[in-house]
Amino acid sequence: MKNIIVTLLLCGSFLSVNAAEKPTVTQLFSVQTVKVQKIRTSHSKKNYGYVKADEARVYDVSPRFGGFVEKLYANKIYMRVKKGEALVKLYSPEVFKAKEDYLNSYKYAKIKNNRGMLKSAKLKLELLNIDAKEIQSVLSKRKLASDTTIYAPVSGYLFMKNITNGSAFNAKAKLFEIVNLDEVWVEVKIFEDDVKWLKSADEFSVRFKTTDKVYKTSKKLLYPNLDPKEATLTLRLRLENKDHRLFPGMYASVISKDKARSYLTLPQSAVILKNGRYYAFMLGEYEGEYEPVEIAVKPLNNQTYIILSGLNAGDEVVNNALFMMDSDAQINGLY
């Protein structure tokens, strides 16, 4: 009796096989293979956080004397001021008296040649934190100005203003808060499981919705304090912000990377999980036969596994139709 030829349409191609012969898995499913590759790359993780002002760059302007505001130059909240720029002109009875004592000491020193009293009077003005140019003008002009001026100690933004024109204030009152934003912090919430990862992470890329610029940093600090409600810790990153594109409160996405290392890898499509163990299928003794090999893996990313054991670089394994390979291996008792 003649053999019957059966034509099958499968996987986009025609396969002509003899009905008397058993087609192999390779014939039926056009089995594709892939080699174990050795690549050099780094792990990455994504977290989210917020911009916060650097606490070391926050300055309070609190005079060491009381007085009255005569003219307010820094009169708008969040306005930007430069270091040395006049913030407010005011009258202070205490400062005026200290200036008077300084001038009188100067006149007395010229007559009696007593420099000690002059130094003490000048020191009093310095301790009141009066600007050096203003102290110098007392002697250069030989005339007392009733007003005194407070200048910005740093460049930054007025995040707080507690006076208006005509205000009265006491010594040690906080008149202004100036925040310098040349550098800022990004605080990121992380889970306890990521603490070990962060010890090896040495590169951070930070992105914001308001700009296409990617900020990179390696300056990190993990706060030694766990939030018991959220079971999270806080990671602090320091970013350069010379162009002042970043402001406190901005939402940030943070991608962290560890140092690049070499790994043996396979695509996830070449690995099957069975009974809590991972397997790949290698070419068997005969053509068209594939045998399961138990391997140890861990994820590199969403598409790739790192091969920890069981395979070597260059080994060729099946990259598709793993469900058929699995069935065939069970039928033949290979597990």
CB 43 within 8 A of CB 321: no
Pair of tokens at residue 248? 């406190």
As a whole number of angstroms, the distance between CA 273 and CA 280 comes to 9
Cα maximum dimension of the chain? 141
| Predicted confidence (pLDDT) at residue 22 exceeds the cutoff of 60 | no
**Cβ within 8 Å of residue 305, ≥6 positions away:** 265, 266, 267, 268, 271, 278, 297, 298, 299
Pair of tokens at residue 105? 């000491």
| Predicted confidence (pLDDT) at residue 239 exceeds the cutoff of 70 | yes
Most confident of 5-9, 90-94, 139-143: 90-94
**pLDDT score at 291:** 84
Pair of tokens at residue 252? 């940030």
As a whole number of angstroms, the distance between CA 148 and CA 131 comes to 9
Q: Indicate the DSSP class of residue 153.
A: S
Q: Helix (H) and strand (E) counts for the chain?
A: 6, 25
Query: Which residues sit opposite 255 in a β-bridge?
Result: 46, 205
CB 49 within 8 A of CB 208: no
Burial 196-209 (b: 16+ CB within 10 A, else e): eebeebebbebbbe
**pLDDT score at 13:** 38
Most confident of 42-56, 171-185, 310-324: 171-185
**Cβ within 8 Å of residue 66, ≥6 positions away:** 92, 93, 94, 168, 169, 170, 171, 173
Pair of tokens at residue 256? 């962290």
Q: Report the candidate in 275, 323, 262, 266 with the shortest Cα–Cα distance to residue 299.
A: 266
What mean pLDDT do residues 266-290 have? 83
Helix (H) or strand (E) holding 26: helix 25-29
Q: Rounded to 10 degrees, what is the CA torsion of 11, 13, 17, 22? A: -10
Burial 266-300 (b: 16+ CB within 10 A, else e): beeebbbeeeeebbbbbbeeeeebbbbeebebeeb
Percent of the chain with pLDDT over 70: 85
Give the model confidence (pLDDT) of 216-225 as tens digits.
999 999 999 9
| Predicted confidence (pLDDT) at residue 89 exceeds the cutoff of 90 | yes
Q: Coil, helix or strand for 100?
A: helix
Residues in the chain: 335
| Predicted confidence (pLDDT) at residue 46 exceeds the cutoff of 70 | yes
Kindly report the backbone phi and psi dihedral angles of residue 297, in degrees, each rounded to the nearest multiple of 5, phi listed first.
Answer: -135, 165
CB 73 within 8 A of CB 89: yes
